[in-house]
Amino acid sequence: MARYSLLSDYSDPALSNLTEQHLEAADVFVDMQLNARNYPIADIVLPSAPLTAIAQAWAKQLAAAGGALGDDSPLIALAKLHEKNALTLASLLTREALGLADVTGAAFGQLNLGRG
């Protein structure tokens, strides 16, 4: 079962082929984005609006690409739009937006230079 979004969250009639597999694949995409930024998945309280938005956009992209019949299908353009949206939303992720505490102890530290 998908963690970040539900089938009932989708109402686009052009994406009637959206399935639970699309939602699970979108979860994998979201987890990859979190791991790439070193955000601990276990510490994130769900539901999380930013993660839900990313998962929804990616699931729509997968469904549109999967439902396209040929290279000139309108669903290809829709898939590209949803892919761009998902990547843009993922690029805006911050620890603060996810309710995560700032990382402490990760600075370079303090060094006293000079005579003394």
- 105 domain-assigned: no
- 51 domain-assigned: yes
- 101 domain-assigned: no
Is residue 103 within 8 Å of residue 53, measured between CB atoms? no
Per-residue tokens: 5: 């979004």
* Model confidence pLDDT, tens digit, residues 8-40: 888 877 778 889 999 999 999 999 999 999 999
- 7 domain-assigned: no
Range(s) of the domain holding residue 73: 19-91
Is residue 4 within 8 Å of residue 22, measured between CB atoms? no
CA dist 67 and 43 (Å) reads 35
- 30 domain-assigned: yes
* Model confidence pLDDT, tens digit, residues 52-97: 999 999 999 999 988 877 777 788 899 999 999 999 999 999 999 8
Domain count, the chain: 1
- 84 domain-assigned: yes
- 77 domain-assigned: yes
pLDDT at position 109 over 70? no
Q: Burial letters for 81-104: b for 16+ Cβ neighbours within 10 Å, e otherwise?
A: ebbebbbebbeebebeebeeeeee
The pTM (predicted TM-score) of the whole model is 0.82
Q: Please state the length of the chain.
A: 116
Per-residue tokens: 94: 């911050």
- 68 domain-assigned: yes
Is residue 58 within 8 Å of residue 82, measured between CB atoms? yes
